[in-house]
Amino acid sequence: MKTIKDEKRGRKPGYGISRKTLFSAAASAFAKLDPRVEIRNPVMFVVWVASVLCTVVAAAQWIGGSPPDSFVSQVIAWLWFTLVFANFAEGIAEAQGKARADSLRSMRNAITAHLLAADGRIKEVRSSELRRGDLVACEAGDLIPGDGEVVEGVASVDESAITGESAPVIREAGGDRSGVTGGTRVISDRIVIRITADPGEGFVDKMILMVENATRQKTPGEIALTILLASLTMIFLIAVVTLYPFSQYIANESKTPNVLTILKLVTLLVCLIPTTIGGLLSAIGISGVSRLMRKNVMALSGRAIEAAGDIDVLLLDKTGTITHGNRMATELVAIAGVAREELATAALAASLADQTPEGKSIVALVRSSGAAVAGLEDGGSFVPFSASTRMSGIDFPGADGRADPNRAIRKGAMAAVREVVEGRGGKVPAEAMAASERIARTGGTPLTVSVGNRVLGIIHLKDVVKQGIRERFVGLHAMGIRTVMITGDNRLTAAAIAAESGVSDFIAEARPECKLEAIRKEQAAGHLVGMIGDGTNDAPALAQADVGVAMASGTQTAREAGNMIDFDNDPAKVIDVVEVGKQLLITRGSLTTFSIANDVAKYFAILPAVFSGFYAAGGKSPLAALNIMGLATSESAILSAVVFNALIIIALIPLALRGVKLNPKAGASRILRRNLLVYGLGGLIVPFVGIKLIDMLLRALGLA
C-alpha cells in the first residue's frame, strides 16, 4: 500500500507531474468555466465576462454577415486561454491532492471489527457500523477499524500505512500514547479500543477532504488579498471605461478615426487587471496544504497553515523536541556517610515499577552493579511519578500496617524531594546541593534520592540535544521568531540545555499549567504563538495557541484541541510547520508583487502603442514618440499583451506549486529585499521583453 511518506522517496513529490495529472487538470480547467465557479474569484470572473462579451459581439457580427477579422478571432481565443490556463493551475494542484487522496482512500476499505457487546460477548461487525463510544478488541494481526483510544492493554502497532516508518510503536492505555488511527495494524498482544470518531469523521477522512479541497475555505489572508485584487480590478475598470469617451473626443478633435474599439478596451482591461495572481492564488493555497501533507502533518484548516507563517513565538518542550528525550542514568553520586550500595538499593526500589525510559535506565544501571532490593516482601507500594509532584518512589508499611514515612523512598527533582525531607524534619546536605548543581551545569538532569528524612545522593541522567537543532533555531531567529523552551527541569539544567541548543529563552521547573500561562502572556503582548503537545494536560495550551500541533499518538483530548495533527509523532515537526507556513506567505507575496509589477509594466507598454494612431492626420502622430518599445500597431500591441498575459500564468504554475525557495538563515529583511528585486524589478522588466518578443513573432508569422 502506498503511504504518504512513499512520496518522499525518489523524485520530489508534486514537482514531477504525471500524464494522468495533466489530463485530469485539463478536464477540470474546462469544467471550471462554469460561471458559478468563476464568480468565486472576482478577478477571473471579470475575465470570464469579458470573454463572453467579446464572443457574443463577434458571433453577432458573423450572423450579420461581417465575419470578425483575424485580430478579433485571436484576441477572443487568447481571452479564453487566459481563463483555461488559470483554471489549469488550480486543477493541477487539486489533481495532485486527489492522487494522494486515492492512496489514503485505500485505507478506508471495510474492516471487520470485534465489537464488545454490553454482555461482554464479542460481535463481528463492519467498521462502517461503528460509532463513537463503541469498544472494540484488536489482537495481533488485526487492522484497527477506526480512530480511537486504547482503554485496556498495551500492544505494538504498525503505523507504516500512515507514517511510512516500518518500526512499530507502543500504544497503551492510561498514558499520553493511547491514540490509534484506523487502518493501522496491531503487531503483538491485545488491546481494547474506544472508538472516538463516527464513520467519515476520522483522521484519514479529514486528510482526504483537505487534500481534495472539498472543505477548504479561504483563509483571512486570501480573503484580504482577494478584496485588494478586486479593488484594483475596479480601479482599472473605471480607468478603461473612461478611455472610450476620451478617445472619441480626441478622434473628433483630430479628425482621425477612433482606433479604440470596445473589443480593444475589453482586452486592455484584461491585460491590466491582476490576472496573474488572481489565477494562481487558489493553487498557491492548495499546494501549501499539499506541502504540509508531504511533511506528514494534517492541517484541520487552511487558516492554521497561514497562522503558522505568521507566528513569532514558538513554545517548545525540551524533551523529545530539543533533546532526544531518552535520558539515561549514567552515574550514582552518594553523599558522605552513605554507602553507594545503600543509594543503589534505594534507587532500584523506587524504579522497579517505573516504566519510563528514565526509570528503566536506573534499574539497568543499578542491576549492573549487583544491587538488590530488601523489603519488597513486606508489601512495598509504588508511588508513580506525576507532573504536579515531580517525583516518584515507594512506600513500605510499618508495624501497624500503614505506610512508614521513615522507610518511604523518594526520587525526583531536588526542590520536590527537599520539600518532603524538610517536611519530615530533615535537611538536604550542602554536598547534595553542590552535586545537583554540578550535574545541572553540564546539561544533565539530577534526581535526588531520599529515605524518610535523609538524602542519600543524586542520580545523574543525561539527555542529548538533537543534532542540527541549533542551526534550525538560528534560521527561525533570523526570520524574527523567538523560541521558548519549557521544561520541568531545574533552572541550571534548563539553562545548560538552552545554551547548547540556542533557544531564545526558557521556562524551568514548569508545571502543566505553565504552558497555558506562558501562551496567554505572549498573546497578551501581541504575539502569535505556536506549540506542540500530545497529552491531556497539553490540551488547554494547544487550544489557546494560534497554531497547536497535536501528535497523532497522543490522547483524544489533545488531538481535538489542536488545529494540526502530526502523524510522525515528532515534536520537532513544529519547526517544519512554521517553515511551510512561511513559504506559503512568501510565495503568495512574491507572486502578488510580480503580478502588480506586471500590470504597471503592461500599462506603460500598451497604452502608448494604442494611442499612437491619434493626431496622425496628414503625418506621423506626435504620440508615437511614447511608443518606446516600437510595437507595430495598436492591434499588435494588444494581441501581444493578451498572449503574454495568458502564457505567464502557465509559466508560473511550477513556482506556485513548488513555492518560492525559503532560506531561513537569510533573515526576514534579506528575504524581502531579494524577493522585491527578483519579483518586483523582474515583474517590471519581463513584460517589456516578453511583449516585444511576441510582437516580433506575430509580425513574422503574419498574424498581426
User: Is the pLDDT confidence value at 521 over 50?
Assistant: yes
Q: How many CA within 13 A on the CB side of residue 291?
A: 27
What is the H or E stretch that residue 36 is in?
helix 35-38
The span from the CA of 232 to the CA of 295, in Å, is 36
Q: What pLDDT, on the 0 to 100 scale, is given for residue 109?
A: 62
d(CA 339, CA 335): 8
For residue 258, the model assigns a pLDDT of 66
What is the residue-averaged pLDDT of the chain?
82
Do 107 and 161 meet the contact criterion of CB atoms below 8 Å apart? yes
- Strand positions, DSSP E, 361-497: 381-383, 391-395, 409-412, 445-451, 454-462, 482-486
**Strands 190-195 vs 135-139: parallel, antiparallel or unpaired:** antiparallel
Model confidence at 596, pLDDT cuts 50, 70, 90, reads very high
Please state, in angstroms and rounded to a whole number, the distance separating the CA atoms of residues 626 and 638. 16
Instruction: Tell me the residue length of the chain.
Output: 704
Instruction: Please count the CA atoms within 13 angstroms of the CA of 30 that sit on its side-chain side.
Output: 5
How confident is the model over 107-122, as a mean pLDDT?
A: 79
Query: How far is Cα 67 from Cα 60, in angstroms, rounded to an integer?
Result: 9
The pLDDT score that the predictor gives to residue 522 is 92
State the pLDDT confidence band at 325, using cuts at 50, 70 and 90: low
Q: Average pLDDT in the 454-466 region?
A: 85
Q: What is the pLDDT of residues 654-669, one digit of tens each?
A: 999 888 888 777 777 8
329-342: pLDDT as tens digits: 888 889 888 888 88
Confidence of residue 210 (pLDDT cuts 50, 70, 90): low
Map 307-324 to HEC letters: HHHHCCEEEEECECCCEC
Question: How far apart (Å, rounded) are the C-alpha atoms in residues 558 and 175?
Answer: 12
pLDDT at residue 11, rounded to an integer:
38
Mean of pLDDT values over 473-478: 84
Q: Cβ distance 632 to 701 under 8 Å?
A: no
How confident is residue 630, by pLDDT bands cut at 50, 70 and 90?
Answer: confident
CA distances from 143 to 136, 179, 555 (A): 11, 15, 20
pLDDT at 574: 79
In the predicted structure, residue 7 carries a pLDDT above the cut 60: no
Q: Answer for the pair 488, 390: CB distance below 8 angstroms, yes or no.
A: yes
Average pLDDT over residues 206-223: 66
At 14 the pLDDT is 42
Q: For 241-271, write each residue's pLDDT tens digit.
A: 888 888 888 778 777 676 678 888 888 899 8
Please give the pLDDT value at position 78.
Answer: 94
Looking up cell 547534595 gives: 432
What pLDDT score was predicted for residue 3?
Answer: 41
Buried b (16+ CB within 10 A) or exposed e, 265-280: bbbbbbbbbbbbbbbb
Name the grid cell of 322: 530539543
CA distance 599 to 616: 28
- List all residues 6 or more positions away from 391 whose beta carbon is below 8 Å from its beta carbon: 385, 410, 411, 412, 413, 416, 417, 420
pLDDT of 634 reads 78
Q: How confident is the model at residue 108 (pLDDT cuts 50, 70, 90)?
A: low
- Give residue-wise pLDDT tens across range 280-296: 988 888 888 888 888 88
692 or 99: which leads in pLDDT = 692
Residue 163 to residue 291: CA distance in whole angstroms: 15
Concatenating the DSSP letter of every residue in 476-521 gives: HHHTTPEEEEE-SS-HHHHHHHHHHHT-SEEE-S--HHHHHHHHHH
Gap between the Cα atoms of 379 and 315, Å rounded: 43
Q: Answer for the pair 318, 531: CB distance below 8 angstroms, yes or no.
A: no
Which domains, ranges and CATH numbers included, belong to the chain? Answer: 4-100+212-295+579-700 (no CATH), 112-145+147-196 (2.70.150.10), 299-324+465-567 (3.40.50.1000), 328-460 (3.40.1110.10)
Q: Which DSSP symbol is given to 170?
A: E
CB atoms within 10 A of CB 339: 11
Residues of the chain above pLDDT 90, percent:
22
Q: Closest Cα to residue 477, out of 208, 249, 664, 655?
A: 664
pLDDT(224) > 60? yes
Q: Supply the residues annotated as catalytic.
A: 317
Contacts of 533 (CB under 8 A, 6+ apart): 317, 515, 539, 541, 542, 548, 549, 550, 551, 554, 558, 562
| Crossing angle between the packed helical segments 262-272 and 220-254, to the nearest 10 degrees | 150
> pLDDT tens across 79-102, in order?
999 999 999 988 888 787 676 666
Q: What is the pLDDT, as a whole number, of residue 629? A: 80
Q: How confident is the model at residue 214 (pLDDT cuts 50, 70, 90)?
A: very low
Residue 273's pLDDT band (cuts 50, 70, 90) = very high
pLDDT at 10: 38
Q: Is 659 left (phi over 0), alpha (psi -120 to 50) or beta?
A: left
Q: Residue 670: what are its φ and ψ, rounded to 5°?
A: -70, -40
HSE-CB of 176 using CA atoms within 13 angstroms: 14
For residue 432, CA distances in Å to 277, 287, 327, 348, 428 come to 65, 56, 20, 19, 7
Least confident piece of the model among 276-280, 589-593, 700-704: 700-704
Give φ, ψ of 413 to 5 degrees: -60, 145
Grid coordinates representing 157 are: 502497532
- Cα 479 to Cα 101, 467, 472, 476, 482: the distances in Å are 33, 21, 11, 5, 9
Confidence of residue 76 (pLDDT cuts 50, 70, 90): very high
Q: How far is CA 34 from CA 28, 48, 189, 485, 541, in A?
A: 11, 9, 55, 51, 44
**pLDDT for res 378:** 53
pLDDT surpasses 70 at 175: no
Task: Tell me what the mean pLDDT of segment 449-468 comes to.
Answer: 86
What are the phi and psi torsion angles at 292 (to 5°)? -70, -35
- Looking at the predicted structure, is the pLDDT value of residue 165 above 70? no
For the residues 393-414, what does the mean pLDDT come to? 84
Tell me, what's the pLDDT at 1?
36
Picking from 31-35, 240-244, 315-319, which range would have the lowest pLDDT averaged per residue? 315-319
Query: Which region holds residue 15: left if phi is over 0, alpha if psi is between -120 and 50, else beta?
Result: alpha
What angle do helix axes 302-310 and 573-611 make, rounded to 10 degrees?
A: 90
pLDDT at 631 over 70: yes
Q: What is the mean pLDDT of residues 622-638?
A: 77
Q: How does pLDDT run across 525-577, given as a tens digit for each residue? A: 999 999 887 777 788 888 899 998 888 777 777 878 888 888 777 777 778 88
pLDDT of residue 616: 62
Q: What are residue 531's DSSP bridge partners?
A: 315, 548
